[in-house]
Structure 1
Amino acid sequence: MLSGSLVSLRDMPEPTEDVTFHDEDWYAEDLADRHFVNCTFHRVDLTEATSQGAVFEGCTFGDVAFNVSRHADSAFTRCAFVRCNLFEAEFTGCKLLGSTFDRCDLRPLTVTGGDWSFLTLAGGDLRGARFTGVRMRETDLSGADLTGASLTGCDLSDVQWRGARLSGADLRGSDLAGLDPATVHRAGTVIDVMQAATLARALGFDIRG
């Protein structure tokens, strides 16, 4: 149901602004090139939906199912995700600048490329998640569970790590500027030689050949 109207998704002009979508069934919907601004999505089923080049600005997603959805070259900027299910969702080359995730099911999440900077994932369950070549500058990962996750080739500079669980996580090739090993659970965390030297210097070690 479209709040206040029975207009279908495909019949709406672009961009779609300040509209509430409630209890909609958009299973396997193709959202290519759609543009939503300040819209609210509540209990919308986006299972297996795809979004190529779609834009969501300042939107709120509450109890939305993103299960097995695929998103490529799309933008979710300054959006709020609350109690959403992202089971096996994939994001490729997407921008999620300034967005927040609150009490979402994020497992297993796959992200390739794109910009996830200034994002809030504090306390998120990201066990086994895969981030490859993603820009994540100043993202809040404090208290997040990244056990067994892969964050390889990512820009993780100035990320907020305090209390994060990195046991068994693979961080090779990522920029770890700002990571204080003393503030995270790090048993079995995988890093490369250059990262080890950087972290050693951050702890005050004088490395000599």
Structure 2
Amino acid sequence: MADRKHGAPVPETHSTIRSEDWDSEDLSGRRYERVAFVDVDMTEATSRGATFHECVFRDVRFNASVHSDSAFTNCVFKRCVFFDATFTGCKLVGSVFDDCSFNLLKVEGGDWSFAGLPGADLRGVTFREVRLREADLTKARCEGAVLQNADLSGASLHSTDFTRADLRGSDLSALDPLVAKLKDAVVDVRQAVTLAMALGLEVRSD
């Protein structure tokens, strides 16, 4: 399993919800703490203002689900599927993802600081206006991903593959261009200067 940020232990759950069919379920306003969700189908489920704290999700299907202003804090997701899922203004601080599928995932706003996504296959996903401060994206595959106006300050980006990724407007101060893949990545002028300086170049305007 992927390590939790700063070595925090996997939550000890106190109850289990197993093999439930929550297809198209409205989870708005619900609160769960230290619950294990195992083989639960949340396809096309929706939530607004729901709270999941220190929960563990195993083999849960979030396909085409839509979550707004909900919190999944300090949770662990193992072998979960997020195909075409949408998270808007959600808080996933400290959550860890292990062997999950993220095809067509869309994230707009919200706080994913300290999230653990090492080695994650994030090809083609979209993160806009998202706080990813000190997130672990070590060796993550972000080819063709959209990471616009994201706060990646302090993030772990060693060997992250940003080939063809759109990084415009994001904080790349933690990115070492010598240990990340940036072929055909799209950046703005300010970011280009930051990357050039990281390579030891002297940037002049004349």
Tell whether the structures are fold-level matches, with TM greater than 0.5: yes
Query: 2:178 pairs with 182, 191, 201, which one?
Result: 182
Q: What is the CA–CA distance in structure 2 between the aligned matches of 1:82 and 1:36, rounded to whole Å?
A: 18
Structure 1 length as normaliser, TM-score? 0.91
* Counterpart in the other structure of 2:7: none
Matches within 5 A, 1:59-138: 59-138=55-134
Q: What is the identity, as a one-letter code, of the residue corresponding to 2:39?
A: R
* Counterpart in the other structure of 2:24: 28
Q: What is the CA–CA distance in structure 1 between the aligned matches of 2:34 and 2:95, rounded to whole Å?
A: 13
Gaps of 5+ in 1: 1-16
Runs (4 or more) in structure 1 with deviation over 3 Å come to none
Structure 2 length as normaliser, TM-score? 0.92
Q: Mean Cα displacement is larger for which, 17-26 or 132-141?
A: 17-26
Q: What is the identity, as a one-letter code, of the residue corresponding to 1:131?
A: F
* Counterpart in the other structure of 1:57: 53
Cα deviation code 1:173-207 (max 9, x no counterpart): 11111100111111101100000111111222121
Q: What is the CA–CA distance in structure 1 between the aligned matches of 2:35 and 2:14, rounded to whole Å?
A: 5
Q: What is the CA–CA distance in structure 1 between the aligned matches of 2:104 and 2:177, rounded to whole Å?
A: 25
Q: What is the CA–CA distance in structure 2 between the aligned matches of 1:202 and 1:145, rounded to whole Å?
A: 22
Q: Which of structures 1 and 2 has the larger relative contact order (alpha carbons within 8 angstroms, sep 6+)? A: 2
Q: What is the CA–CA distance in structure 2 between the aligned matches of 1:197 and 1:74, rounded to whole Å?
A: 37
Gaps of 5+ in 2: 1-12
Rg larger in structure: 1
Count of equivalent residues: 193
% same residue: 52
* Counterpart in the other structure of 2:148: 152
